[in-house]
């Protein structure tokens, strides 16, 4: 199996951003856990697993098949996943095509994740589960608990027209809860509750080195410069 053969909408520009941030953390920070809330077929999890250092724990959480019957599921997601044959076994098969060992798999609602990941131990959290306001608010609160001060949280579909609740939850955290965005793409927002400047500088530098993508002049979000990462041309 090739990475490109895993179904899913994990765009190359975000694959690059994940890679650069995870490499930067491995280079300058102490080890810490990785967490993904909502895994779909496992494409982003496979990439994250490439940067799991010795002694670190990667934890993923998803309803998998239970999305169709769970009272905590996003109704829009339930309708979507009825056509996608989402299953834990497919996720695990895709992941094991690239890695020797599975991550720690939590099958259940994402609001249970803090029972499995200790406070202040994670360095990177990817939120891509239910897209309602309530669910994203809960996942954002969980991310803040799990992340250490310098940790990074990534939000999927933060500007999707059909996920207005997701959008509202993300920007509420920025406006009222000290979340600091440092980069964005068309699909994902990258943020931290720590110092965003080193992360923003890393994205700008790595994009300049890449030869195939670029960063636009930073725009201000509540006096915080956020760089837009996109392809050249």
> How many C-beta atoms surround the C-beta of residue 89 within 10 A?
9
Q: pLDDT by residue (tens digit) across 125-151? A: 999 999 999 999 999 999 999 999 999
Q: Are strands 188-192 and 122-127 parallel, antiparallel or unpaired?
A: unpaired
Q: Which helix (H) or strand (E) holds 165?
A: helix 164-176
Give residue 78's pLDDT: 58
Which pLDDT belongs to residue 187?
Answer: 96
The answer on pLDDT for 82 being more than 60 is: no
pLDDT at 75: 65
Q: What percent of the chain has pLDDT over 90?
A: 84
Tens of pLDDT along 162-187?
889 999 999 999 999 999 999 999 99
**What pLDDT score does 148 carry?**
98
CB within 8 Å of 138: residues ≥ 6 apart = 110, 111
The confidence score (pLDDT) of residue 162 equals 87
pLDDT at 69: 59
**Distance from C-alpha of 178 to C-alpha of 175, rounded to nearest angstrom:** 7
Which position has the higher pLDDT, 219 or 79? 219
83: pLDDT confidence band, cut at 50, 70 and 90? Answer: low
| Averaged pLDDT for residues 109-137 | 96
Q: What is the mean pLDDT of residues 193-222?
A: 96
Helix axes 12-28, 197-210, angle to 10 degrees: 120
In angstroms, rounded to a whole number, what is the distance separating the alpha carbons of residues 233 and 230?
Answer: 9
DSSP string, 173-193: HHHHS--EEEEE-SSEEEEES
Taking residue 76's Cβ as centre, other Cβ atoms within 10 Å add up to 14
Q: Which of 62-66, 145-149, 158-162 has the lowest mean pLDDT?
A: 62-66
Q: What is the pTM of this model?
A: 0.94
Three-class DSSP category at 156 = strand
At 70 the pLDDT is: 56
According to the model, what pLDDT value does residue 65 have?
Answer: 81
Q: CA 67 → CA 49, 70, 84, 88, 211, distances in Å?
A: 24, 5, 11, 11, 41
Q: How far apart are CA 79 and CA 67, in angstroms?
A: 9
Categorize the per-residue pLDDT at 24 as very low, low, confident or very high, splitting at 50, 70 and 90. very high
Per-residue pLDDT for 81 more than 70?
Answer: no
Is residue 115 classed exposed, middle or buried when 0-12, 13-18 and 19+ CB atoms within 10 A define those classes?
A: exposed
Mean pLDDT is lowest, of 52-66, 89-103, 110-124, for 52-66
User: What's the whole-number mean pLDDT along residues 77-84?
Assistant: 59
Helices (H) and strands (E) in the chain, counts: 7, 10
Q: Mean pLDDT, to the nearest integer, of 76-90?
A: 70
Q: Where are the domains of the chain?
A: 3-10+30-193
Is the domain spanning 3-10+30-193 CATH 3.40.50.150? The answer is: yes
* DSSP E strand boundaries for 33-81: 33-37, 58-62
Cα separation, 87 vs 63, whole angstroms: 9
Arithmetic mean of pLDDT over the chain: 93
């Amino acid at each position: 199996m090739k990475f490109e053969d895993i179904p899913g909408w994990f765009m190359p520009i975000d694959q690059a951003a994940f890679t650069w941030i995870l490499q930067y953390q491995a280079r300058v920070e102490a080890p810490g856990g990785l967490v993904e809330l909502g895994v779909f077929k496992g494409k982003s999890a496979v990439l994250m697993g490439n940067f799991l250092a010795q002694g670190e724990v990667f934890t993923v959480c998803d309803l998998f098949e239970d999305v169709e019957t769970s009272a905590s599921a996003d109704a829009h997601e339930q309708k979507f996943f009825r056509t996608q044959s989402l299953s834990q076994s497919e996720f695990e098969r895709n992941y094991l095509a690239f890695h020797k060992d599975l991550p720690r798999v939590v099958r259940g609602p994402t609001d249970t994740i803090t029972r499995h990941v200790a406070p202040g131990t994670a360095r990177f959290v990817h939120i891509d589960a239910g897209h309602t306001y309530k669910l994203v608010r809960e996942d954002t609160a969980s991310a803040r608990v799990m992340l250490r001060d310098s940790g990074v949280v990534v939000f999927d579909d933060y500007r999707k027209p059909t996920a207005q609740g997701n959008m509202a939850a993300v920007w509420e955290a920025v406006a009222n809860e000290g979340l600091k965005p440092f980069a964005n793409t068309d699909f994902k927002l990258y943020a931290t509750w720590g110092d965003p400047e080193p992360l923003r500088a890393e994205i700008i530098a790595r994009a300049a080195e890449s030869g195939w993508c670029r960063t636009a002049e930073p725009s201000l979000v509540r006096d915080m410069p956020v760089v837009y990462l996109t392809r050249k041309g």
